[in-house]
Amino acid sequence: MTIKIAPRGYTLEAASAPCRSSQNTPHPRPSACNPFRRHLLLHPAVYALLAVSSLSLLSSCQHQPSPSQAPQVVSTPPPKLKPKPILYQWQGNGRKVSRIEIDIDKQKAFFYAGPDKIGWATVSAGVRSTPTPVGRFKIIEKVAKKRSNRYGKIYDRNGKLVVRNAATTIDPIPKGGRFEGAPMPYFMRLTHTGVGLHGGPIPRPGRPASHGCIRLPSEFAPILYQHTAMGTPVTIMGGPSDTRYSGTWVRKLKTAQRAKDP
């Protein structure tokens, strides 16, 4: 854009005066009589406004970031999810389980059909205060839908939960309240004292968590239940033979029993 400046000596009045010849001005100035040139003779305030606008335009251009200085968008990678542990494997192919071996120290159970191992599962056996007994057993009862008659929850007469992890031999039931046994789905009994295999939570794979039973992964419990018959031998090794198992729960049971006796 080009801005032309009026010559020295020209004023707005001279520029706007009509162009006519006279004796004093025999030869009028061509620039003053030219209509195109007259439009270029602007008021000084207009020149100041144009100058300020030009400086503003140059300033804004200088502050515009170049493409190389454009802010970069940093993308945060999604958090890596911890893979879900594999709790069991089964290659039974319809064959029946002929024997079961449970290693309390490894917290694992192994299943055989004759000489062939057809599967394994991570289990949760009894904690130190309620250890799982070791030895040789047989499955003496099968109940698909069973609840414990010893461990569970206690509610008051208004239905409010008062004891979350209750034992009927220790925790009293309030008047008008009720006891709700813990679920033990696909239960296979090993002892007359209530120890057996059944489905249940395994909160910390590789570590004990039960009151003495052997918990199986919930998805695997119905598979084992279907392929195991009454009388199937079960061997449990390790566990309570370790001196770390204190038997605290047994002492609590004996103390509670003595308190009930007259």
User: What is the block-wise mean pLDDT of the chain (262 residues), using blocks of 10 residues?
Assistant: 49 48 49 48 58 57 56 75 89 94 95 97 92 93 94 93 89 92 96 94 92 95 97 89 46 62 60
What are all long-range contacts of 189-195, with beta carbons under 8 Å and residues at least 24 apart?
Answer: 189/139, 189/140, 189/141, 189/142, 189/143, 190/137, 190/138, 190/139, 190/140, 190/234, 191/133, 191/137, 192/140, 194/148, 194/149, 194/150, 195/132, 195/133
- Say how far apart CA 245 and CA 127 lie, in whole Å: 8
pTM above 0.85, yes or no: no
Q: What is the pLDDT of residue 168?
A: 87
Sign of CA dihedral 16, 19, 25, 30: positive
- 88-142+185-260 adopts what CATH topology? L,D-transpeptidase catalytic domain-like (2.40.440)
Closest listed residue to residue 183, CA positions, set 167, 201, 170:
201
Helix (H, G, I), strand (E, B) or coil at 252: helix
Domains in the chain: boundaries: 88-142+185-260, 147-183
Q: What is the pLDDT of residue 169?
A: 86
pLDDT, tens only, 2-44: 445 445 554 444 444 454 544 454 555 544 445 444 444 455 6
Q: What is the pLDDT of residue 102?
A: 96
- Say how far apart CA 122 and CA 12 lie, in whole Å: 102
Could you say which DSSP state residue 210 is in?
Answer: B
Sign of CA dihedral 119, 122, 128, 132: negative
Helix (H, G, I), strand (E, B) or coil at 242: coil
Closest listed residue to residue 31, CA positions, set 49, 55, 15:
15
